[in-house]
Structure 1
Amino acid sequence: MRKIALTSLLIFITSLSYSQKIKFKNDKVLADDKELFKTERTGVFGANGFIFIPLNSNKPLFSLIANNGGTHMHLDDDYTQIKFLTIGQKAEIRGGNLKEAIKLLLKNEIIKDDGTLDEAKIDLFIKNYDENISERTVITR
């Protein structure tokens, strides 16, 4: 019983270490109240999101686009597309929550503390998380 309690405590503490408070405020992204990026809105019908730009530059790094699959009330087909604009690669993950996508990028150390990308880790991230949702989804409108 003691091992189960210790294991549960360890899992809880580990999950707290990766939880960060993400906010979109005044065309900026804040992680734990620290500005990371400037943003620009992007998207089309059924898909909206942001392009993320470093604070000290005007060159976009990546974009996050939440796609509802053409169904507003059906959440099972929602996904987020992450486009790494500096290297021309993308990943698609389940769910349409952009804040959770940013947390996933921070957890995997794709986004560094100074608001830049660690391009060396992007390939591994894509191999581990990309689900190619748009290639296997038929959207009827």
Structure 2
Amino acid sequence: MTAKKLFTLFLLILSFHLYFSQEAIIKDDKVLLDGKQILKVEKINVAQYSFFSMKDDEEILLYKYMDNETPKYVNDDYFILNFLTEKVKIESTDIGKIANFMNSRKGMEKLIRWLIKERVLTHDGELNPERVAIFKEKYDENITERTVR
């Protein structure tokens, strides 16, 4: 394959990715997806965020970061996604899914993109109950139940 064909293929793949990727940003207590507000957000502290529905202003998702009472030891840290309206709680140590070098707003933007990619959250900011159940099966590690206190 010639360099010209490889370059054209690379540009095609890049443009396809850029076309289908969506920009989720948090600005002024709003979650914007491609410029359209889909959720309201409240930063409770660096380790806790609440997300609210646009339709009825109901809290639909609570995010918490848990250091497992060992602030200097990060290997046991995890996060909790509590889908309040669905009564589903997910605990995961896969911090890489949302980590963004101590910038909690950027981490929450990454979380929203992840939930949209997994189709847990629709493009209108609504939870998909079937996908929430699948998401729980895929990512929940049930850390609280496994931890001896």
TM-score normalised over the length of structure 1:
0.70
Q: 1:73 to 1:15 in 2, by over 3 A?
A: farther
State the number of aligned residues: 132
1:30 CA displacement? 2.1
* Correspondence for 2:102: none
- Aligned 8 A contact 1:66 1:98 in 2: no
> Which sections of structure 2, spanning at least 5 residues, go unmatched?
1-5, 100-106
* Correspondence for 2:40: 38
* Correspondence for 1:105: 115
Separation in 2, partners of 1:33, 1:66 = 27
* Correspondence for 1:128: 138
1:86 CA displacement? 0.8
Corresponding letter in the other structure for 1:92: E
**Partner SS, residue 120 of structure 2:** coil
1:18-37 equivalences in 2 (<5 Å): 19-37=21-39
- Aligned 8 A contact 2:33 2:123 in 1: no
> Which sections of structure 1, spanning at least 5 residues, go unmatched?
none
Q: Greater shift after overlay, 123-132 or 13-22?
A: 13-22
* Correspondence for 1:68: 67
1:74-93 equivalences in 2 (<5 Å): 74-93=73-92
**Partner SS, residue 138 of structure 2:** helix
Percent identity reads 30
TM-score normalised over the length of structure 2:
0.67
**Partner SS, residue 74 of structure 2:** coil
Separation in 1, partners of 2:39, 2:139 = 23
Corresponding letter in the other structure for 1:31: L
Q: Rg bigger for which structure?
A: 2
Where is the helix percentage greater, Structure 1 or Structure 2? Answer: 2
- Residue by residue, what CA displacement relative to the aligned partner does 1:32-88 show, whole Å, maximum 9, x if unpaired? 333221122346xxx722111112322111111122333445433332211111121
